[in-house]
Structure 1
Amino acid sequence: MNAPPNIDPVPAHSDSDVVHWLTNDTRDERFIDNIFAELCVRLQRAGIPVKRATLHLLIYHPQWLGARIIWADGMREAELARVDYDVRERSEYIGSPANEILDGAAEVRENLERDPSLGRQHAVYDEMRAKGLTDYVAWPLYHTLGKRHIVTFATDRPGGFDDAHIARLLKLLPVLALVSEIRMKNRLARTLLETYVGSHAGELILAGATRRGSGTTVRAAIMICDLRDFTRISDNWPRDDVIDLLNGYFDAMSEPIARHGGEILKFIGDGLLAIFPLSQPQACANLLHAVTEARQAMVALNEKNGETGRAPLNYGIGVHVGDVMYGNIGSRTRLDFTVIGPAVNMASRLETLTKQLGRTVLLSRAFADFVERDFDLERVGEHPVRGFNDPIELFAYHG
Structure 2
Amino acid sequence: MTETHDPLDGQTSRDAMLGWLLRDTLDERYLDDVFAGFCDRLRRHGVAVAHAALHLRTNHPQWLGIEIRWRLGGSGPESRNLDYGLFETEGFRGSPGQRIRDGAAMVRQRRGASQGSRQGTHRGTGRGTDDDGHPETARLMAGQGLTDLVAWPLRYSLGKRHVATFASDRPGGFAAAEIALLADLLPALAVVTEVRHKNRLTRLLLDTYVGPHAGGMILDGATRRGSGVTVEAAIMVIDLRGFTRISELWPRDDVIALLNDYFDAVCCPVERNGGEILKFMGDGLLAIFPLDRPDAGGATLRAAHEARRAMRDLNRARTGQGLEALGYGIGVHAGAVMYGNIGSRTRLDFTVIGPAVNVAARLEGLTKVLEADVLVSGAFAALLDAPTALACLGSYPLRGVGEPLEVYRLAGE
Alignment TM-score, normalising by the size of structure 2: 0.90
Displacement after TM superposition at 1:186 (Å): 0.4
Report how far residue 344 of structure 1 moved: 0.4
Q: Give the CA deviation at 1:59.
A: 0.8
Q: Which residue is 1:95 aligned to?
A: 94
| 1:219 pairs with 2:232 | yes
Does 2:354 align with 1:341?
yes
Query: Within 2, Cα distance between the matches of 1:375 and 1:271?
Result: 29
Task: Compute the displacement of 1:310 (Å).
Answer: 3.0
Query: Partners of 1:10 and 1:43 in 2: how far apart?
Result: 9
- Residues 261-300 of structure 1: pairs in structure 2 closer than 5 A: 261-300=274-313
Q: Decide whether the 8 Å contact of 2:237 with 2:361 is kept in 1.
A: yes
2:102 maps to amino acid: D
CA distance in 2, matches of 1:84, 1:307: 30
Asked whether the equivalents of residues 113 and 135 of structure 1 are also in contact (C-alpha less than 8 Å), the reply is: no
Question: What amino acid does structure 1 have at the position aligned with 2:172?
Answer: G
The CA RMSD measured in Å over matched residues stands at: 1.9
Aligned equivalent of 2:22: 23
Contact 1:34-1:78 within 8 A present in 2 as well:
yes
> Following superposition of structure 1 onto structure 2, how do residues 40-79 of structure 1 map, counting pairs within 5 Å?
40-79=39-78
Deviation for aligned residue 1:151: 0.3
Provide the C-alpha distance between the structure 1 equivalents of 2:245 and 2:92, rounded to a whole number of angstroms.
Answer: 43
Letter in 2 for 1:217: T
Further displaced range: 266-275 or 236-245: 236-245
**Pairing 1:304-315 to 2, within 5 Å after superposition:** 304-315=317-328
Q: How does 1:1-399 map to 2 (within 5 A)?
A: 14-114=13-113, 119-371=132-384, 373-398=386-411
Please tell me whether the aligned partners of residues 95 and 122 of structure 1 are also in contact (alpha carbons under 8 angstroms): no
Following superposition, the deviation at residue 352 of structure 1 comes to 0.8
Q: Please list the CA deviations of residues 87-145 of structure 1 after superposition, one character each: whole Å capped at 9, or x if unmatched.
A: 11111212211111111111111222225697423311222034332221101011110
In 1: Cα distance, 2:77 partner to 2:227 partner? 41
User: Is contact 1:15-1:46 (8 Å) kept?
Assistant: no
Letter in 2 for 1:18: M
> Aligned partner of 1:32: which letter?
L
Please tell me whether the aligned partners of residues 361 and 398 of structure 1 are also in contact (alpha carbons under 8 angstroms). no
Give per-residue Cα distances to partners, 1:188-209, cap 9 Å, x unaligned: 1111111111111111100001
CA drift of 1:296 comes to 1.0
* Residue identity in the other structure for 1:132: G
Provide the C-alpha distance between the structure 2 equivalents of 1:114 and 1:104, rounded to a whole number of angstroms. 23
CA contact (8 A) 2:388 2:411 kept: no
Structure 1 unaligned segments of length 5 or more: list them: 1-8
Q: CA deviation at 1:44?
A: 1.2
Is contact 1:26–1:35 with CA below 8 Å preserved after alignment?
Answer: yes
The separation in 2 between residues aligned to 1:220 and 1:200, in whole angstroms, is 13
Query: Take 1:307 and 1:176, find their aligned partners in 2: how far apart are those partners?
Result: 54
Shift of 1:363: 1.2
Sequence identity, in percent?
Answer: 55
Query: SS at the partner of 1:389?
Result: coil
Note closer, same or farther for the CA distance 1:309–1:214 as it changes in structure 2 (3 Å cut): same
> How has the CA–CA distance of structure 1 residues 372 and 363 changed in structure 2, closer, same or farther, with 3 Å as cutoff?
farther
CA deviation string 1:32-52 (max 9, x = no partner): 111111211111111111121
The aligned amino acid for 2:32 is: D
Q: Distance in 2 between matches of 1:298 and 1:259?
A: 16
Change (3 A) 1:116 1:297: farther
The 1-side partners of 2:148 and 2:61 are apart by 36
Contact 2:5 2:43 in 1 (8 A): no
**TM-score, structure 1 as length reference:** 0.93
Q: Is contact 2:132–2:138 with CA below 8 Å preserved after alignment?
A: no
In structure 2, the CA distance between the partners of 1:30 and 1:372, relative to structure 1 (3 Å rule), is closer
Provide the rounded CA distance (Å) in 1 between the counterparts of 2:94 and 2:143.
Answer: 19
Unpaired segments ≥5 residues, structure 2: 117-130
Q: Tell me which residue corresponds to 2:122.
A: none
Q: Distance in 1 between matches of 2:111 and 2:101?
A: 22
8 Å Cα contact 1:284/1:371 also seen in 2 = yes
Alpha-carbon distance in structure 1 between the residues aligned to 2:324 and 2:193: 47
Q: Distance in 2 between matches of 1:119 and 1:48?
A: 22
The alpha-carbon deviation at position 169 of structure 1 amounts to: 0.4
